[in-house]
Amino acid sequence: MIGDSLAVGLLTDAGNRNLWTRNIRRRPSAGGVGFRAIQEICDANLYRIASMNERQDGDHFVKLTFGGLSDFNHSSERIHYKTPEIKDWKSYNGAEIKLEKGVYTIKGKKAISDMAGFRLPYHLPDGFYTIRFKHHSKSLVSLRLWKNEGTGSNDVQGFHYQTNIPSSNIEWIDQEETVFLANTEGETTNLLIAASNLKTGEPYQLEIKDLEVIQSVVYEQPYHPLRAGVLNTKRTFIFVTPARPTLHDVRLASQVYLADGLGFKGTTEEKCLYACYQMLMWIHGAGNFSPLSVPSINYAPDMYNRDSFWSMMGTYNRESSETIFNEWAATQNKEGAIGTIITPCMGSKELKGNDATLEFLWFALVNKRLYGTLPPTNKITKAFNYIVNEIDSNRDGICSARFVLGQNDCVEYPNRTSGLAVNQGMLAVTLRVAQELGMPVSNDYIEKANAGYRAFYDKERGYLIDNKAFPYVITFNSLLPEFVSLWLFNEPVLTSEMVNNTLDKVPTKNGYSPLIFHATDTYFTRENKPFSPNLFWDNGIYYNAGSWMREEICGYVAGMKHGWKPAEKRIKDRLIAEITLNPDEPFSHEFLPYDLTVPGCWWPSTRVFSWNVFVLKALEVAGMRSPEEDPNYENDCIRTKR
């Protein structure tokens, strides 16, 4: 900020073009909990601002550094931090502590929360740390690194997912964690060590000893190759704009001007979706410069394949779309299934029969239509055979699956189910896609699947039954296959009565609506929830009636194509709500909380989300946006008429 009225910003192009990544961690080895810091971190210093001392000396700057590799495998020095005096430890949720013969005993007579322990204050500069100790407890153990006092989720600096680590009341368990700390800004970092998964009112005790906090001093080297005769370009932008010195103004300006710099045209809301997507396009790392589409910082560094599908489909970029499709293809197993997650340093970590394999066929079709990319026939055939063998082995057009073939993946069906509207619709549209890709699919087979999808409409209730086991549940998820049919084929599967009556049942307030909700009560209780037994969220949070933008707007677009009168206003209102509901967070979210009175309803993990960029394509289907407004459309896409 210059004064209180002018913002100056330094921006970078996406990581797949400027060759950077924000990856600092990897999944643990078998049996581990949480994430581990990786030993070689690219671009740890991508952005740096002047330190407090430099600013006091009048040296104010923001600096971008591309191509720096921080090597902690070959650290020149290891710095051991002294354990804070026990008098400086801070109780968390009522725990008490004593020290005898080098053993710290953390205990309580009656747990008042599911986690209780102590916070140890350290003054740790940015860097790579190894934290190790021994623990002994009947309880599970959890760790956090908190900035400042460490009392809320906004303060977490590290160990976001080191929760409920197994311990033992028989022998000492060795615990070793690695973490990369950034943006400590000279503030205190509190290490929380806690007994967890506690039952309210019951006693607990956790013993720890031999605690070590060790910093590895970095060895810096470059990792971008500079080859003779090959042009290497880095694109950055500087903007100056009137703004107030608030998080809202600075965050909003950075997104709008990044989109402008990249040549994107659209509304302010559309620019935010586009910019968030761009900043979640990375490279894998020093040894792999291929694009990596990350859902959000919270899910990093994993590329969830189905998330990346919606991100690729929302924009026009032939190179990224073809490369990421090929990365998907490389995960295919011998049966033909496509992997769920691709993770740098770890490879393809998960494969199950969800919607990724169906979307693999959609991906191939879109790349063929847009870019003239020839589908890999062998892999397409294997994927198609897997799909029909896995979810329609009787070839009767009725889907029977172990998983939800859509977004609402918080329940599994090991004994299979044919009771989900979205699954039936996904089979129907995928058969149509497979037919266009040359697979042996008859029109009669497609129509059987279409009829099965339409059969989920309950005329008496006046809406699509999402799940026959829970007929009081309504979701936008069940309308997604209808949107996909309209998007890919410009033809409906459902009738206007089915679509419009379902949308008429959707509650709305302040311009947004829940993704999944109880037909009469909006929110689910623990007794009537349609989720797995171990899952539940507060009112309006996540899948208990949280608002998910991509599916909501796709549902409205389906309604618009069927003549649903409120559609255009609902679409515009939902776009505005995404960047205005929380004034400090004018960007794309994983979901918006539908009940703002619930304490902690704004999860830090939901901030800056990629797949909402697909809304741009939904707006094209609605006739509310032109593909020519995307900067890559003219150069990357072939001209065909359907």
Domain boundaries of the chain, sorted by first residue: 78-216, 270-636
- 29 falls in which pLDDT band (50, 70, 90)? confident
Which pTM value belongs to this model? 0.95
- 152 falls in which pLDDT band (50, 70, 90)? low
Q: What is the CA radius of gyration of the chain?
A: 26
Say what the pLDDT of residue 183 is. 85
Say what the pLDDT of residue 354 is. 86
**Both tokens assigned to 119:** 């916070």
- Domain 78-216: state its class: mainly beta
Question: Which of these ranges, 20-34, 603-617, 624-638, has the smallest mean pLDDT?
Answer: 20-34
Mean pLDDT for 543-568 is 98
Q: Please tell me which residue, 612 or 158, carries the higher pLDDT value.
A: 612
Say what the pLDDT of residue 294 is. 96
Percent helix, strand, coil in the chain, to 5, is 30, 25, 45
Say what the pLDDT of residue 408 is. 84
**Both tokens assigned to 106:** 């953390």
Q: Work out the mean pLDDT of the chain and round it to a whole number.
A: 94
Mean pLDDT for 420-437 is 98
pLDDT per residue over 66-92, tens digit each? 999 999 998 889 999 999 999 999 999
Indicate if the pLDDT at residue 642 is higher than 60: no
Say what the pLDDT of residue 187 is. 87
Indicate if the pLDDT at residue 201 is higher than 90: yes
Indicate if the pLDDT at residue 97 is higher than 90: yes
CB of 199 closer than 8 Å to CB of 124 = no
If one looks up domain 270-636 in CATH, what number appears? 1.50.10.10
Say what the pLDDT of residue 348 is. 76
Report DSSP letters for 191-246, one per residue: EEEEEESPPTT--EEEEEEEEEEEEEPPEEEE-----TT------EEEEEEE--SS
- 641 falls in which pLDDT band (50, 70, 90)? very low
Cα 315–Cα 549–Cα 424 angle in degrees, nearest 5: 90
Mean pLDDT for 39-66 is 92
| Cβ atoms within 10 Å, residue 334 | 7
Indicate if the pLDDT at residue 627 is higher than 80: yes
User: Distances from the Cα of 85 to the Cαs of 89, 136, 144, 213, in angstroms?
Assistant: 7, 21, 19, 14
